[in-house]
Chains A and B, each alone.
Chain A
Amino acid sequence: MKGHVRLDGVSKVYRRLARRGRLQSLKGALLHGDLVRGLKASEGFVAVDHVDLDVAPGEAVALIGPNGSGKSTLLKLISGILKPTRGTVDVDGRVTALIELGAGFHPEITGRENVLINGMLLGLTRPEVEAKLDEIVRFADIGEFIDQPVKTYSSGMFVRLGFAVSVAADPDILLIDEVLAVGDAAFTRRSLDQIARMRREGVTLIIVSHDLDLVAHLADRAVYLRHGRVIAKGLADTTAARYRSDVAGDEAADRSAAASSVRVVEEGTRWGTGDVEILDVGFSSCGVPMRVVPSGTDCTVHIAYKVNHPVSDFGFGLAWHKPDGTVVGGHNTFLDGLVPGRLGERGEVRCHYPALDLAPGDYVLDVAIHAREGLAYDYWCQAARLRVTSAVEWPGVWAPEHRWESDGSVFFEADTGSSRG
């Protein structure tokens, strides 16, 4: 099916660029068509290590991780620019890779000619590019400059034209490597709009970004890479939270060697340093423990914890999801302006909702105890599940108390009074 991306045990080994052994490796290349075969471990650098990935058509997946974790290499492997050392890459459909905007532009020739060459490199025919030229010029917003040599362009015009050509190629799969950060705010917004439009049309999206908010906004799923290996994959915001926690953990470890490192309790769903541990998460309504709560009634989330190593920087956080991953909402004690004081050795924290205005259905709760910068002591995804009931099957996730009114010109046959049935 068009737009399907499948990676099976993909590894990429780079030859370290040492002068010694170059002739040797060239001989290898000529004999086996392979530069890294027979390379000693010390001579190769493993950029991507045995990665499996399956991206369904129309899905949006983010690759996140620190610099040098292999994200960009993975993207280049998917695009076909690089060939994997081991494993297979199956890509179905036309791929456009936004790795560097305007990378192929020749400075001496006009924007129009560059658009033609770039469009054809991306797989369009000459008449196709010519038919799309107006659209490209309009999106890039460069007007008369299209007939000027590209060297006279401002850097903004350059990247806008580069983006416009790339997305005009009607890809089935769009690969984006951190390129949206290059332009001004207006450009970023316009390109995000364009990407959103392409997503609605069913284009598969794979992005590499350090902007975790953007990742959570654009992607359904995220893959967290480190040293070329997949550390975690799952829902975009959960995986991003995991990465944030690790980054904060690394920084803490840099500051004090004594700090305990992040450990993973349960692959993909629970991690943290373990300094503070979540014992149990439960719900109550009007003081009575419950697993099912009627919409709009009083509800309290109970978080029982235990301190293993005393910490002074602590906060509690909650994130509500639908079981399909849709984010409903979230809050933590830092955002609510609560300054950490003392954390008793063992106890319970409660978050109270006077009226839980959720639409009927099942909800999943992620619970975390973490430091201000994001270092997780215990981050527990899907720690608890709550069913909300209602007499009316309100759609969506929000079912607030409400009332219909009119200036007297509209009458309804029967006024049932309360909207909540």
Chain B
Amino acid sequence: MDIFRVLWRHRALVVVLVRKELAARYRASLLGYFWSLLNPLMLLAVYAVVFTTVFRPRMAGAQPYALFLFAGLLPWLFFSGALLDAAITLVDNGPLLAKVVCPAEIFPAVTVLSHLVHHVLALPVLLVALAGCAMAGWHPFPWTIVLLPLALIPWILTAGGLALGISALAVHFRDIRDLVANLLNLLFFGTPIIYTLNGIHVGWLWHMLRLNPMTSLIRVYRSLAFTGHIAGPLEWAIAMATGVIVWLAGAWLFGRLRDTLVEAV
């Protein structure tokens, strides 16, 4: 809760730092913010070509597959991008931490929020694609997508909590970044992103996937953004509980390590 208070007090600074993060990324690039739109667009185009001409997966509830995949990948890219950057954010901002008095927790928060902005900037691509598919009659338009901000809450909390913990640990152990990258790869395939949970017919595997809390997060998101219905209350409860628990754990870890950060960066 302490961290929430600190972040709220410095909200103006956080906003400015997020803007800086975005501005610095696209500085000296011709297209600027358009890259936030272009990157997912390219991704979608590649998937559309590959999965309609090369492979033709026939998974129930995942048609058209390129659109299904895209709707699942968007939150995952937000999540994994934020965590990978969280592993370096405190080290990168070391000069600020060590030479200027500033609360360290704003940096992981800025990392998560700037990835959230990228995510939001990519949503128009998804909307246009959904609208296109609806007009072509391939897939009804999921009006539930207006509720998407609700589905983003557990994502933001989970990514925020993990970002806090990872950023603080990464200051002490630089191996964390590689570890996180590998775990994210593992988790990517261990979460129903490129497939559906119902498409798994191996019992033990199904149970393992069901135990992965990220499964709930992706299902809550994708049911709104692709399928067009609202996931069941249990799914929502698991997703929200995951967000809250991960946030609290990350905040606790960060609080424990806060005083040691400056010396180690």
**Bound Cα distance from A81 to B27, whole angstroms:** 31
Of chain A, the residue at the smallest CB distance from B10 is A120
A299 within 8 A of B: no
Interface hit among B47-55, B97-105, B144-152: B97-105
In the assembly, what is the distance between CA of A121 and CA of B228, in Å?
44
* Closest A residue to B168 using CB positions: A29
* A89 / chain B contacts, CB cutoff of 8 Å: none
Q: Which of B12, B259, B263 contacts A126 (CB 8 A)?
A: B12
Number of interface residues of B (CB under 8 A): 27
B16 near A118 with CB under 8 A, answer: no
Encode B254-265 as 1/0 by CB contact (under 8 A) with A: 011101101100
Spot the interface stretch: B17-25, B71-79, B196-204: B17-25
Q: Check if B255 sits within 8 Å of A121, measured CB to CB.
A: no
Q: A81-B101, A103-B100, A108-B24 are in contact. Are A120 and B259 (CB under 8 A)?
A: no
Q: Are B256 and A106 in contact (CB under 8 A)?
A: no
With CB as the reference atom, state the residue of chain A lying closest to B252. Answer: A30
- Give Cα A145–Cα B95 distance, bound, in whole angstroms: 23
- The yes or no answer to B6 lying at the interface (CB within 8 A) is no
Cβ-based interface call for B208 (8 A): no
- Contact in complex: A79, B101 (CB < 8 Å): yes
Interface of B is mostly: helix
Query: Which B residues are CB-close (under 8 A) to A106?
Result: 20, 24
CB of B139 within 8 Å of the partner chain: no
B28 at the A interface (CB under 8 A): yes
B260 touches A116 (CB 8 A): no
CB-contacts of B63-113 with A (<8 A): 95-102
Q: How many residues of chain A get a CB closer than 8 Å to chain B's CBs? A: 34
Does B13 interact with chain A (Cβ within 8 Å)?
yes
Question: Are the CB atoms of A33 and B23 closer together than 8 Å?
Answer: no
Minimum C-beta distance from A178 to chain B (A)? 13
The digit string for B22-48, where 1 denotes a CB below 8 A from any CB of A, is 011001100000000000000000000
Q: Mark A68-98, 1 if CB is under 8 A from B, else 0.
A: 0000000010011111000000000001010
Contact of B96 among A76, A80, A82, A103 (CB under 8 A): A103
Complex partner residue of A149 from B17, B27, B173, B260, CB under 8 angstroms: B27
- The answer on a CB contact under 8 Å between B99 and A99 is yes
Q: What sequence of 0s and 1s flags, for each residue 188-224 of chain B, a beta carbon within 8 Å of any chain A beta carbon?
A: 0000000000000000000000000000000000000
- Please state if A33 and B259 are interface contacts (CB–CB under 8 Å): yes
B99 contacts A104, C-beta separation under 8 Å? yes
A104 touches B96 (CB 8 A): yes
CB nearest neighbor in A for B257: A29
B101 near A100: Cβ-Cβ < 8 Å: no
Query: Does A232 sit within 8 A of B, measured CB to CB?
Result: no
Q: Which of A15, A29, A34, A80 contacts B101 (CB 8 A)?
A: A80
Which among B13, B98, B172, B262 is the interface contact of A121 at CB below 8 angstroms? Answer: B13
Q: Kindly provide the distance from the CB of A205 to the nearest chain B CB, expressed in whole angstroms.
A: 17
**A109-134 near B? 1/0 per residue, CB < 8 Å:** 10001001110111001100000000
Contacts A103-B100, A104-B100 given; indicate if A22 touches B172 (C-beta within 8 A): yes
A29 interface neighbour in B20, B98, B102, B260, Cβ under 8 Å? B260
B256 adjacent to A82 (CB under 8 Å): no
Q: Give chain B residues whose Cβ lies under 8 Å from the Cβ of A108.
A: 23-24, 27-28
Q: Residue B253 at the A interface, CB < 8 A?
A: yes
Q: Is the CB of A100 within 8 A of B24?
A: no
How far is B255's CA from A60's CA once the two chains are assembled, in angstroms? 35
B residues less than 8 Å from A149 (CB atoms):
27
Chain A nearest CB from B171 CB (Å) reads 11
Contacts of B28 in A (CB 8 A): 108
- A353 close to chain B: CB less than 8 A: no
Given contacts A81-B99, A81-B101, A149-B27, 17 further A-B contacts (CB under 8 A): A29-B257, A29-B260, A30-B257, A33-B255, A35-B259, A76-B262, A81-B262, A99-B98, A103-B99, A104-B95, A104-B96, A106-B24, A108-B24, A109-B20, A117-B20, A125-B12, A126-B16
Q: Report which A residues bind B (CB closer than 8 A).
A: 14-15, 22, 26, 29-30, 33-35, 76, 79-83, 95, 97, 99-100, 103-104, 106, 108-109, 113, 116-118, 120-122, 125-126, 149
Q: List 17 A-B contacts (CB under 8 A).
A: A15-B263, A35-B263, A76-B98, A81-B99, A81-B101, A81-B262, A82-B263, A99-B100, A103-B98, A104-B96, A106-B20, A108-B23, A109-B23, A116-B16, A117-B17, A121-B13, A125-B12
